[in-house]
Structure 1
């Protein structure tokens, strides 16, 4: 369901400094390797809520219009045997071909950083 030009936005930083995975190959590689690279032993998404929205005017941040699904999920992780629970907000935009071309994630990373004692994004998605 991913478009070739998909972009995946992590919640670190602001509009100009967020970590972004660009392209289907990079996004798929991240998710295939997330367990090995992050050290997280287990992760599950529970209690989902999905709200489809059609934006008729360009959105301020992305400049996109069209179908966006707002999702709210609980992300339950185990890192070094310690549980970490984070409530996540995810905005997923679909292009005219009904493929996902943008994924924006929003969540408080503090519980993850405190448990892991490191910024996993700096470890597994180094900035150039």
Structure 2
């Protein structure tokens, strides 16, 4: 998985070097492909990382933004607290965040939350 993530990051950097613009659809197509492979580059903006978030990760992010605890999020989504922790760690990695507050701030700035 780590090797695939490095490959994805290298592809994004190559695209940037060759001036492939998001408007042409290449970057969107690449991010869609990476999402299908469950690979999300860690060196892109929160907006681009949002493309890689699963629907469950978005639900957990919404719970974090509302100040809910892991237990509250777990009860609301009918999943275990350990599963919430797993989703939270993946959110941190995908958004490049250190903690809950940082993840929520990045999500708001990136337009993932309103």
TM score, norm. by length of structure 2: 0.27
Structure showing the higher strand proportion among its residues: 1
Structure showing the higher helix proportion among its residues: 2
